[in-house]
Copies of this chain bind each other. A is one copy, B any other.
Amino acid sequence: MAKGKRAAAMAENRARLIRAARAAFATQGYADASMDELTAAVGLTRGALYHNFEDKKGLLWAVVEQIDGEMAERLRIVREQAPNPWLGLLAEGSAYIEMALEPEIQRIMLLDGPAVLGDPSKWPGENACLDITMRTIRALIEQGIVKPVDVEAAGRLLNGAALSAALWVAAADDPKNVLSKAVDAFRVLASGLLREAREPA
């Protein structure tokens, strides 16, 4: 039981730093987040940071990977609960839009992440959200519900549309009203993928 005492403590501290970083990055933004304050908030110093992570960017990488995994899991659940694949795709889109309303996701994943770490399509973990969308589209094409479009292209554009919608909703004075408009528009655009003009039951 006294086996990995050091390692366990280190993992605990890593987790604490990541938790603090999520909060700091989300509220102050990456650039304005001070590593001194961040580490002190969990009773450590910058020494711990640069021992556990490569640098400030490395900490952001860790945060992004964690959030990315959480988002993918949530999207997976939403899709599996839908009555059919097509509605699953639409539900994914809505869920994505709603997730992007959360300040943490918006700030870290959609604003600072791309600016600091570069294009999300090159992130390791392959941007799990996109991966799920693509899988759904592929399945719909195989079932003949969706036109035989390029899967990656369609997935990326759909995600982009949802993201844009989310940012719009997030910045709106009247989020509820705007949210419904955004979801409607998303469905209209997505319907362009359908082989038949009418949606499947």
> Is A114 engaged at the interface, CB distance under 8 Å to the other chain?
yes
Contact A190 B192 (CB under 8 A): yes
Main secondary structure of the interface of A (DSSP, over half): helix
Query: Nearest Cβ in chain B — how far from A64, in angstroms?
Result: 14
Which B residues lie within 8 Å of A114 (CB)? 111, 115, 167
Residue of B nearest to A154 (CB): B185
Other A-B contacts than A153-B184, A157-B186, 11 sampled, CB-CB below 8 A, are A114-B115, A119-B167, A150-B185, A154-B185, A156-B165, A157-B182, A157-B189, A160-B164, A160-B167, A161-B164, A190-B192
Q: How many residues of A contact B (CB 8 A)?
A: 47
Contact B156 A164 (CB under 8 A): yes
> Is A98 engaged at the interface, CB distance under 8 Å to the other chain?
no
Task: Mark interface residues in A137-157 (1 if CB within 8 Å of B CB, else 0).
Answer: 000000000010110111011
Contact A153 B171 (CB under 8 A): no
Q: In the docked arrangement, what's the CA distance between A164 and B158, Å? A: 9
Q: In the docked arrangement, what's the CA distance between A193 and B185, Å? A: 9
